[in-house]
Amino acid sequence: MKIPCFWEHNRGDTLLYAVDLPGAFTRGESLSVAITKMPAEIKSYLAWRGDPVPDLIEIVIAEEKESELDIRDADSDAIFDREKAPLTREEYEGLKALALRSAKDFQALYESIPDKDAGLSPLRKTFYGQVPHTAREMYAHTKSVNAYYFGEIGVDAENDGDIYECRKRGFDALEAEPDFLQKPVIEGSYGEYWSLRKILRRFIWHDRIHARAMWRGTCRVFGVNEIENPFRFV
């Protein structure tokens, strides 16, 4: 199975995205490290979606962007070529279902953690401040992008309620707009370009970043059999 990927990099540090699997990604201090991690990511992602998992996976670099951002901390402003095109209703409904499922699974993972205030990762700072250290902090941070992502394409949304509820209300507000599937690419905050396709990917991608950190940290602290693994991480 060939996996076309978008390579975003800065002085060697790499974010590698599977173009056809929105939200699937790896990070690494080099492209070769990120490529080495990608087969496991693809297998867990396809298992999460309930799709067949291939035995052989070939990584192909389809697009590339040299960035000035701190790639090693998952700071990204990439937009794929295909994310600049309008969505069909069928495409939208499929991606929306994935983004909502991702939110539900993130909620289930969070709720299964015995102590939501236990330290799950070392304390450190990144471009956006202190890295979320506990499950509660990881959950609050992951939910907090809802208003930001929708706002970048001109949709008024908020972060109230749980991660699924606020995301669902954001989609409801989006769909109340006429011709929402034809939204153009928009230059948003900090000169970053956004589209509807991009925010659908970004929701799943951002969930996976913090769900993986939450799951791995909780496994270290509480044991692998003590929590749910709805994302099928390996």
82-121 tens-digit pLDDT: 999 999 999 999 999 999 999 999 999 999 999 999 999 8
Q: Which of the listed residues 49, 73, 97 is the one where a domain comes to its end?
A: 73
- Read off φ and ψ for residue 220, nearest 5 degrees: -65, -40
Asked if 94 and 207 sit in the same domain, the reply is yes
In this predicted structure, what is the pLDDT of residue 159? 98
CATH number at residue 54: 3.30.2390
Please state, as a whole number, how many other Cβ atoms lie within 10 Å of the Cβ of residue 189: 10
Q: What's the pTM?
A: 0.95
| Measured distance CA(192)–CA(199) in Å, rounded | 12
Does residue 16 sit in the same domain as residue 67?
Answer: yes
Residue 140 pLDDT exceeds 70:
yes
Last residue of a domain, one of 56, 73, 90: 73
Q: What is the DSSP string of 85-133?
A: SPPPHHHHHHHHHHHHHHHHHHHHHHHT-S-TTSB-S---EETTEEPP-
Neighbour-count burial for 152-163, b at 16+ CB within 10 Å, e otherwise: bbebebebeebb
Count of domains forming the chain: 2
pLDDT at 50: 96
At residue 127, does pLDDT exceed 60?
no
Residues 126 and 33 in one domain: no
**Could you tell me where the beta strands, DSSP code E, fall in the chain?**
2-10, 13-18, 25-28, 58-66, 125-126, 129-130, 186-187, 193-194
Q: Residue 72 has what pLDDT?
A: 86
List pLDDT tens digits, range 55-85: 999 999 999 999 999 898 889 999 999 999 9
> Which residues span the domain enclosing 20?
2-73
Both 67 and 175 in one domain: the answer is: no
pLDDT in tens, 172-181: 999 999 999 9
Q: How far is CA 188 from the centre of its chain?
A: 19
